[in-house]
């Protein structure tokens, strides 16, 4: 009986445990587990939050207009481009936003304009290697025959090859000295041409200084490359004929449309539709250059192949005669030579000629600057000979006038684009790979944080270090103004460009007294709409100021 009751008690206890106690224990375990999981998750979230708080914040893009999907800011860009100009719109909204660096998305391209010397140096000095490429645009593609040249090629083997050729073979100090006499011939022809214009009136001659400057620069460059001044029969007074005028017009049509914010450069599927007419202008202007250049180049290549030429006489001969060290074959193809000649003509003409016209326009409105320049020339050179390149180191005021014209009136509102080859950070802003960085020449040169009275023409501001024995140079390593660029994409022709500018300004100021035409009170310094040049070509009256024997030029220089 006892055994029976004990068995039933055990069974009853198991039933009670399974019905009442076990579920409670399970519930208690689940609650404990839930509390543990909640505590663990909160601890993990806290650790993650602390890690995120300790991480450096991802830099943002520079400030700029809010972009639309796909097209970015192209709608506002197109509207404002038609109203004024792309550069005016960019500078206006940067001023409104009080920023020296901005980001404008055009299509899927981030365009980064910069107006500060400090930020510009971060791009072009500190991180130069990251911003050493160029964009593939419609205009540069046409002019450079598929980006075969130095300035317009993106980073790569082709650019390295052509850069090496230009720096080592074309624009080296030795080559510059070798070509000295050719530059002197054109400097003499410049004076002779203006002297002939003086004969047109009893009180001096009315001279178109834009024409003088542009054709002098073209003449120098053609003489260096082709060893000839004229493309046709030539003009007896030293001035340009029809062929030379057509050539110059083509060059400046290209200058205005290279890197001109063409819509199809940001939406490539529009290329071929030519919505703005840019493609036809660029193709027509390039055809004009090649109509004159290519026959000369092709004939010269054939002369070297046939053994009719053995020693270089000009830069074209140097191009053609370069050989590959490995197998002795020509280093450059005919297309590479043609494309590089196109590029040299553009680069050598626009900047110096624009600088001369603006410098003289400003100086005519400030006669005291003209007098200071003449006094310097008379002290350094005298009046019994013409100024020569060997005098340039001592002509600090002349170079200061040229620098001041560069500062106030650059040939283009922005530098050619520098394309980033990697994601990077500049000035606490994120700059994505493929961005187009454009340095504002206007923003640098007229920056009130850098220059006192930035809108005034004051050459003296560039003479501050002369008392310490330092020479004034046209280069600006600290990017307070933009003359020839810097870094891997800086201009390799700084020495040639500087000598052309200084000789042109020096010869014109030494050889002639200049005055504003009688019917004008002052020179109108308004630029043209959407262009960097004076709205009207600069006209001034010239009178010879040196003894007659100084103007004696040999007959052989008259038609070349």
What is the chain's Cα-based Rg? 34
Output the CA–CA distances (angstroms, integers) from residue 288 to 97, 293, 319, 342, 356, in the order listed.
43, 9, 22, 11, 25
CA angle 114, 118, 124 (to 5 degrees): 70
Q: Which two tokens stand for residue 347?
A: 């680069």
According to DSSP, the β-strands at 424-426 and 512-515 are: unpaired
Burial of 461 by CB count in 10 Å (0-12 exposed, 13-18 middle, 19+ buried)?
middle
Tokens read off for 484: 């020839």
Of 337, 247, 327, nearest in space to 291 by CA: 247
491 known member of a binding site: yes
- Report the distance separating Cα 15 and Cα 13, nearest Å: 5
> CB under 8 Å to 313, separation ≥6 — which residues?
227
548: tokens are 């007659």
Contacts of 67 (CB under 8 A, 6+ apart): 73, 104, 105
Structure token digits, residue 19:
């019905």
Tokens 């001035």 sit on residue: 239
SS3 274: coil
Instruction: Please state, in angstroms and rounded to a whole number, the distance separating the CA atoms of residues 112 and 109.
Output: 10
Give yes or no for a contact between 430 and 59, defined as CB atoms under 8 angstroms apart: yes
**Helix and strand numbers, DSSP H then E, in the chain:** 18, 9
Q: 278 and 286 in contact (C-beta within 8 Å)?
A: no
Region of 98 on the Ramachandran plot (φ > 0 left; ψ -120 to 50 alpha; else beta): left
Q: What are the backbone dihedrals phi and psi of residue 439, each rounded to the nearest 5 degrees, phi first?
A: -90, 125
CB 517 within 8 A of CB 207: no
The DSSP line for 360-383 is: HHHHHH-HHHHHHHHHHHHHHT-S
**Residue 408 and residue 420: Cα distance in Å, rounded?**
28
Q: CA-to-CA distance for 363 and 474, rounded, in angstroms?
A: 18
Nearest of 381, 366, 364, 373 to residue 401 by alpha carbon: 373
Binding residues for heme: 491
Binding residues: 491
């Amino acid at each position: 009986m006892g055994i029976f009751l004990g068995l039933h008690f055990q069974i009853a206890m198991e039933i009670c445990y399974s019905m009442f106690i076990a579920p409670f224990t399970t519930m208690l375990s689940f609650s404990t587990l839930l509390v543990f999981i909640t505590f663990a998750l909160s601890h993990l979230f806290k650790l993650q939050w602390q890690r995120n708080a300790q991480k450096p914040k991802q830099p943002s893009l520079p400030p700029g207009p809010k972009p639309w999907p796909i097209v970015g800011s192209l709608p506002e860009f197109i509207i404002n481009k038609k109203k004024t100009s792309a550069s005016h719109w960019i500078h206006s909204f940067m001023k409104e936003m009080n920023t020296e660096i901005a980001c404008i998305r055009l299509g899927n391209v981030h365009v980064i304009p910069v107006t500060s010397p400090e930020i510009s140096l971060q791009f072009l000095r500190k991180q130069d290697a990251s911003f050493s490429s160029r964009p593939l645009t419609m205009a540069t593609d046409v002019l450079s025959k598929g980006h075969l040249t130095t300035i317009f090629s993106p980073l790569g083997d082709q650019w390295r090859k052509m850069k090496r050729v230009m720096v080592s073979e074309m624009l080296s100090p030795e080559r510059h000295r070798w070509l000295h006499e050719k530059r002197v011939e054109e400097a003499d022809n410049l004076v002779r041409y203006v002297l002939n214009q003086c004969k047109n009136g009893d009180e001096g001659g009315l001279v178109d200084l834009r024409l003088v400057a542009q054709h002098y620069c073209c003449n120098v460059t053609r003489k260096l490359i082709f060893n000839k001044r004229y493309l046709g029969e030539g003009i007896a007074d030293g001035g340009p004929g029809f062929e030379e005028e057509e050539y110059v017009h083509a060059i400046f049509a290209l200058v205005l449309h290279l890197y001109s914010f063409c819509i199809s450069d940001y939406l490539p599927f529009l290329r071929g539709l030519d919505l703005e007419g840019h493609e036809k202008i660029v193709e027509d202007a390039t055809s004009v250059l090649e109509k004159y250049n290519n026959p000369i180049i092709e004939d010269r290549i054939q002369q070297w192949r046939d053994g009719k030429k053995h020693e270089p006489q000009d830069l074209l001969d140097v191009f053609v005669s370069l050989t590959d060290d490995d197998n002795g074959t020509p280093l450059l193809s005919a297309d590479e030579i043609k494309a590089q000649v196109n590029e040299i003509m553009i680069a050598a003409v626009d900047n110096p000629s624009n600088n001369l016209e603006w410098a003289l326009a400003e100086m005519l409105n400030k006669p005291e600057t003209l007098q200071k320049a003449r006094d310097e020339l008379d002290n350094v050179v005298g009046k019994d000979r013409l100024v020569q390149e060997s005098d340039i180191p001592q002509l600090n005021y002349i170079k200061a006038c040229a620098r001041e014209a560069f500062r106030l009136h650059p040939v283009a509102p922005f530098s050619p684009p520098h394309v980033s080859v990697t994601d990077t950070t500049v000035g606490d802003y994120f700059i994505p790979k493929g961005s187009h960085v454009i340095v504002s020449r206007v923003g640098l040169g007229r920056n009130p944080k850098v220059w006192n009275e930035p809108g005034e023409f004051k050459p003296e501001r560039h003479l501050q270090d002369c008392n310490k024995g330092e020479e004034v140079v046209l280069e600006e390593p600290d990017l307070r103004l933009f003359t020839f660029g810097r870094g891997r994409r800086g201009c390799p022709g700084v020495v040639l460009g500087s000598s052309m500018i200084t000789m042109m300004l020096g010869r014109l100021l030494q050889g002639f007294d200049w005055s504003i035409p009688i019917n004008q009170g002052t020179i109108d310094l308004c630029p043209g709409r959407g262009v960097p040049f004076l709205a009207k070509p600069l006209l001034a009256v010239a009178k010879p100021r040196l003894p007659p024997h100084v103007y004696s030029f040999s007959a052989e220089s008259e038609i070349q």
